Amino acid sequence: MARVNYAELAQVVASLTEGEQDEVALMATLTCEVHHADDRFDWTGFYRVVAPDLLKIGPYQGGHGCLQIPFSRGVCGAAARTGQVQLVPDVDAFPGHIACASSTRSELVLPVWNRKGALIGVFDIDSDQPDAFTQDDADQLAVILSATFVK
């Protein structure tokens, strides 16, 4: 089973996104690189803030995602609403979890800010394995997200 090498991933993402300012292009590139970096990552993508308290699907890899998620619902909504990383070892134990894919067993969602400090979305990674994510995954991905969108 391939595990992500975060130092290498950060370097690849930085080189691919150097000079790019378009948020959707950055999201698409980051999603592709992260998704293919680790076998645990079953669904990887962004939900973008498109209106007050509303997320809509952005670039992603994997099966279908939910088209929109209010801040008041699910793991992605909790990350957007609180501005805090959501590390969920068992989605069935998360109150209000939205089952966009029945195969999802665990989830990691990180809020994403731009250089002005505005929340632009959340980065969502689902796994078909229970308890697939660690705090190190969350910390390393937060660094990559910051380097990509806050630069």
Q: Is 71 helix (H, G, I), strand (E, B) or coil?
A: coil
State how far the Cα of 43 lies from the Cα of 125, in Å rounded to an integer: 6
The CATH number, out of the four listed (3.40.190.10, 3.30.450.40, 3.90.45.10, 3.40.50.740), of the domain defined by the range 6-149: 3.30.450.40
pLDDT at 147 over 70: yes
- Average confidence (pLDDT) over 119-124: 98
Do 40 and 75 form a contact (C-beta atoms < 8 A)?
A: no
Domain regions of the chain by residue span: 6-149
pLDDT band at 96 (very low <50, low <70, confident <90, very high): confident
Average pLDDT over residues 132-136: 96
The whole-number pLDDT of residue 1 equals 54
pLDDT computed for residue 128 by the predictor? 94
Q: Coil, strand or helix: which one is 1?
A: coil
Would you state the pLDDT for residue 101? 76
Q: Distance (Å, rounded) from C-alpha 82 to C-alpha 114?
A: 16
pLDDT at 119 over 60: yes
Mean pLDDT of the region 128-144: 96
Q: Based on the number of CB atoms within 10 Å of its own CB, is 142 exposed (0-12), middle (13-18) or buried (19 or more)? A: middle
pLDDT digits (tens, 9 = 90+) for 11-33: 999 999 999 999 999 999 999 99
DSSP annotation of 63 reads S
Confidence check: pLDDT of 5 > 60: yes
pTM of the predicted model as reported, rounded to 2 decimal places: 0.95
| Mean pLDDT value across residues 118-132 | 96
Over residues 45-92, the pLDDT tens digits come to 999 999 999 999 999 999 988 999 999 999 999 999 999 999 999 998
